[in-house]
Amino acid sequence: MHKVKFKYRTHKAGSSLFFFPLVDTNDSFIESFRLKASSSPIFSPVAGFVWFISLRRFYTVHSTLYYFVTVDVPWTFVHLRSGFGRIDCELCDKENGDIFEKPTCMTEPSFSLIAMDDASHEPIPITLAVEETWPAWRAQAGTYTNTWIDSVQFLPKAGETCLVPGPDGRLANVLVGAGKKPDLWSLGRLPYQLPQGVYVLDAECGNVTAMGGISLGWALGAYQFARYKAATRPPAELVVSDENALADARRLASATYLVRDLINTPASDMGPAELTAVAEEVAAAGGAVVNVILGEDLIEHGYPTIHAVGRASARMPRLIDLRWGPPKAPRVTLIGKGVCFDSGGLDIKPADNMLLMKKDMGGAAHVLALAQSAMEQELEIQLRVLIPAVENSISSRAFRPGDVIRTRAGKTVEVGNTDAEGRLILCDALAEADSEAPELMIDIATLTGAARIAVGTDIAAMFTDDEGIAVELSDQAQTQQDPLWRLPMWDGYKDDLESAVADLNNVSSHRYAGAIGAALFLREFVSEEHSWVHFDIMGWNPKDRPGRLKGGEALALRALDAMLAARYRKTF
């Protein structure tokens, strides 16, 4: 017997849910039962029904009814249908697992940034010590402060901090070394390095809030992933007097926190169903609508590559489709790779390479964060977000090396390697996005190790044939201190994707220029090439640094957010 847990979502109480076994890959119906969706479920078994059924949990979110049901069945695969609701189903060996907890994007923190009116007591000033102005500052600081600085041998070097007590022994001032120039990360280590309390940037430092978004760096340094391990302590708080700067810093911090939370969450709690729930929560907060094409329906609706990659997993593959904004506004479509865990498939990864594969849905996390920010700013766009969400697993249903798949665009692709699954699920999503000819189309994916070899873990690799967009994004990247680097779409490597039996192979015939090869593959599914930008990102910090804990990380998020705002923010 196998334990199957499924979540049923519907806006219509009293609708019917049908449950059928799926044998091998054919719809062979052995037994069925009907579950009446109501606050007091009615179970109506049909002939031969002998399986135990229990209601796991019931609640309502945004006018949606949620039912959690556990069923013991003798089948490995099941097929569920409903006329009104949407169903998430998954094979589970845990008797009381929490795979279908109430969806949440985590409780929104304060980001440790507050307005002056919210300060509980007089804030302690923070002075940024810049090398050029340091002598002038010391000249007016007074004998007491200068004596203390000399005694602790503080210098205005980046990363140095000096706590200056007052005559009463209480903390009176904080000196922070900024080197030649303050940057986004100058305050990144302070939220947990300083004693708990309220702080404010010294007015004599100038308008540092506007200069490089230094308050955002504080907020990013206040992040902790505390879902499974309690936070060490609350962070110190920073007063931001400028209301607009405070709102912008909180908005960008919220988007970054979302990316980090989703990537950091292990695949056991962030599968395709849970990613869908997060997308629905983001949509509900912004007034967007979400449609999901699930499981076998992907074939019916013309998304064969998404189905092929995800069909081996008991966690059903899907295409998440979020829409927001007025129909006459410019179309902007974001596509994010949502591989919630990547074993490599039948071309299985080595253990070390598999360890971080919970982060392979980092592209999906990024586009949800961008959508959240765009809706919060009420940008003048018709926004669409497409996330092919799958788990690349191994079973008798897994797609195989050598298989040929006819894609949504009609082109055939030979599977040269099942571990190059990201470009397969993206190609169908890109074809769908391209069918609407958006003004701007952006895809983000944790796609290739080759991009990491080329630009490392901090820099997002960018591909586009549009010179204007490339310059625009590069300028914003520098302004936002959010590094990216454009790599070439070198047409000379296109022949390396040839196949003897199909239009394309999903991998190159050699190991060279892997990131370029992946980008060229994706370009085959975009007819309006000049509206398209492709990002190949790491999505992970390999070590702790100021403002950036080891773990999930947003790359190119601030640059993209700034570019979208510059283009589409409302003007009054």
The helix (H) or strand (E) run that includes residue 390 is strand 382-392
H or E stretch covering 56: strand 53-61
Active site residue 349: yes
**Alpha carbons 563 and 472: distance in angstroms, whole number:** 7
Per the residue annotation, which of 349, 397, 452, 494 is the catalytic one? 349
- Distance, in Å, from the CA atom of 534 to the CA atom of 466, rounded to the nearest integer, reads 11
Phi and psi (nearest 5°) for 392?
Answer: -85, 95
Task: Return the ∠ at Cα 274 (arms to 108 and 360), rounded to 5°.
Answer: 95
According to DSSP, the β-strands at 198-201 and 86-91 are unpaired
Asked about 359 being catalytic, the answer comes back as no
Rounded Cα–Cα distance for residues 333 and 319 (Å)? 14
Would strands 404-406 and 504-505 be described as parallel, antiparallel, or unpaired?
A: unpaired
79 membership: H or E segment, kind and range: strand 77-82
Burial 316-338 (b: 16+ CB within 10 A, else e): bbbbbbbbbbeeeeebbbbbbbb
Alpha-carbon torsion 321, 322, 324, 330, what sign? negative
Buried b (16+ CB within 10 A) or exposed e, 123-147: bbbbbbbbeeebeebeeebeeebee
CA-wise closest residue to 506 among 396, 394, 392:
392
Q: Identity (one letter) of the amino acid at 203?
A: A
Spot the catalytic one: 260, 359, 423, 523.
423
The dihedral over CA atoms of 132, 133, 136, 138, expressed in degrees to the nearest 10, equals -100
Dihedral of the alpha carbons of 33, 36, 40, 44, in degrees to the nearest 10:
-30
Q: What is 308-332 written as a DSSP string?
A: HHHTTSSS--EEEEEEES-TTSPEE
Active site residues: 349, 423
